[in-house]
Amino acid sequence: MHQQFNLIIEILGTISFAMSGSFAAMQKRLDPFGVLIIAFVTSVGGGTVRDLLLDIPVFWMHDLLMCGLILATSVFSMVFKSIEKNFKVTLFIFDSFGLGLFTIIGVQKGLNADIHPLICIGLGTITGCFGGIIRDILLNRIPLIFRKEIYASACIVGGSTFLLLTHFTTLSYTFIQIFTILMIVSVRTLAVKYQWQIPKFYGYESNSEM
């Protein structure tokens, strides 16, 4: 049961990030091949880094299902483009759900590898964020994780909540997964709506006379 639900989470996360990458690429007016490439790296980037750190086979290299999903989602997004005009909102929705879904996958992969819980939170954050980082770099944008928006912090809050509920409550595992995914999406959404920000460091401007 758990494995089946984990597969559903992974499929939904892949679709969400593929849509996110596709719409981000279309915002930049890339051709269909460029859209496919950006969708692919957005979907598999975080999981690839995670698997390399865990020294396990990279998940998508042995799973044609995920590659097929990315291709199908990219094609669908290009067709969907003709009826969807608000790219910014659509991109935000899919990116937020991809963030929540992939964060939980990363935390679980760390737990399965008997990694310390704190490191598992880091793995969840990497899984959720790194695809978006690679996407934004390829599109010549400052990655969201480095901007004022709450992004990685939402992963950390969600990952921590997942571990606490798993270890200190008797709630069903499936309920905890769904709850923490929705928590990450909610934190990200509320942060953007109410402009929550993490305090920034401000450097001193150099004196041109010195």
- Report the distance separating Cα 101 and Cα 114, nearest Å: 21
pLDDT at site 156: 94
pLDDT at site 143: 87
- Report the distance separating Cα 121 and Cα 118, nearest Å: 5
- Report the distance separating Cα 99 and Cα 135, nearest Å: 13
**Domain segments of the chain: what residues?**
2-193
Percent of the chain's residues with pLDDT above 90: 69
pLDDT at site 73: 95
Q: What is the DSSP code (8-state) at residue 149?
A: S
In the numeric block, which tokens belong to residue 112? 């399965």
Angle between helices 117-138 and 2-27 (to 10 degrees): 30
In Å, how far from its chain's centre is CA 14? 9
For 17-58, the pLDDT digits (tens) are 999 999 999 989 999 999 999 999 999 999 999 999 999 999
pLDDT at site 83: 64
pLDDT at site 202: 65
Low-confidence ranges of the chain (pLDDT < 70): 1, 82-87, 148-149, 200-210
- Pick from 105, 97, 98, 4: nearest CA to 47: 105
pLDDT at site 193: 85
pLDDT at site 209: 46
Instruction: Cite the DSSP H helix spans in 55-168.
Output: 64-80, 87-112, 117-138, 152-168
